Amino acid sequence: MIKVLIIADSYFFGVKLTCMLESEPEIKVIHRSGLAEEALDKIELLEPDVVLLDIEMKGVHALDILYNIMLLDPTPTIVVGRESDLGRREMLSALGYGAVDFIVMPNRLSDLEEMKEELIALVRVASSLEIKKLVIKKPKKKLSAPKISEKVLVLGASCGGVATIRTILSSFPKDFPAAVLVVQHMPAGFTKAFAETLDAVCPLKVEEAKEGSLLDKGKVLVAPGGYNLEVVQKGKHLFTQLNKKHTIVKPCIDVTLKSVSKVCGKNVIAVILTGMGDDGANGVKWVKKNGGKIIVQDESTSLIFGMPKMIIRNGDADFILPLLGIADKIVEIL
C-alpha cells in the first residue's frame, strides 16, 4: 500500500485528489492538511510514502513547507500547480528544493479527472525512490576548460533532470568553449521559465531555443516544450530547427542527438542523465556511429535510472559516472 499525504488549502481540491488517487487500490490517502505546521507534524507521525503539495496555497509559502519537509523529514514530494507565470516558476523552484516532479492542473477544477492517470503514475514512481537522491550536493569549484573546442554538448534528461542539469552547468567556467543543447522533458510553456532559472544561477548564457537560434560557444540553448529540436548547418554556422514530429515526448532526446550527430560527427558529446523510459537510447547510437562520445549518469546518483540504464544495457556508454564527476569528464573530452 502506498501512503499519500496531501497538503492543500482547498477542501474541494483535496477531496478531488483523494478520490482520484484512491481509485487505484494500492494507494491510500492517509491525511489532508492545509496548515503548514500540522502537515509537518503529520508527516513525522504518519510517515507517508509520498507527499502531494499544492504549490500555490493562499497565505502560505509552499516552498517553505517543502524546504522543511526536506530538512526535517525528507519524503518524496510531488508539487501540483496551475499553468500561470507564478505556477510555472514556483513548480520549477520546487524541483530545486528537492521535489520529485510536478504536475500541471487543468484550468478548470472540474477537469481534474484528466490528470488522474499521470498523477497515479507519478505517485507510484515517487514511492519507489531513494530519498537520499533528492538531495544533490553542490558542485566543486568552477572547472578550467580549454580555450578552443569544436565540440557540441547535448544534455538529455527527464524526471530529476532539472537540479541535475543545473549542477553540471554551474560547474562550467564562463568562457566554456563549446555550444550546449539541453533537452529536458518538460511541458510547453515551462522551458522558457526553466531557461531563465538556469541563466540566473549558471555562469553561461542560457536561453530557450527558437527557430533559427545560433549555436555559439559558451551559450546554452534549451529545447522548447512541445517541439523537437534539430540542428542544421548553413555555411560555417549551426542553427536550431524546430518541428512537431510525432514522438512520445516533445522535446525528444533521440531526435536532437540523431540530428546533431549527422551534422557534427565526432564533435558531439552526448550526456544522458536521470529519467524514466528509453529516450536517448536510439539517439546515442547515431552519436557512436559518427565517432562522438557518450556519458551516462550512474545508478547511485540517478533519481530514476531508466534512461541511463537502457544505454548501458545496449553497450553504448563510453563513460558511466556519478553526477559530480560528469562535468570533469566533459571538460576532459573537450
In angstroms, rounded to a whole number, what is the distance separating the alpha carbons of residues 119 and 328? Answer: 37
Residues identified as active-site: 158, 185, 279
C-alpha cell at 136: 544533490
In angstroms, rounded to a whole number, what is the distance separating the alpha carbons of residues 227 and 131? Answer: 32
Asked if 268 contacts 257 with a C-beta cutoff of 8 angstroms, the reply is: yes
C-alpha cell at 59: 497565505
Residues sharing a CB contact under 8 Å with residue 93, sequence separation 6 or more, in sequence order? 63, 197
3-class secondary structure, 63: helix
In order of 14, 37, 67, 90, 232, the CA distances from 62 in angstroms are 15, 12, 9, 9, 43
**What is the 3 state secondary structure string of 101-153?**
EEEEECCCHHHHHHHHHHHHHHHHHHHCCCHHHHCCCCCCCCCCCCCCCCCEE
Pairing of strands 50-54, 2-7: parallel
Residues in the chain: 334
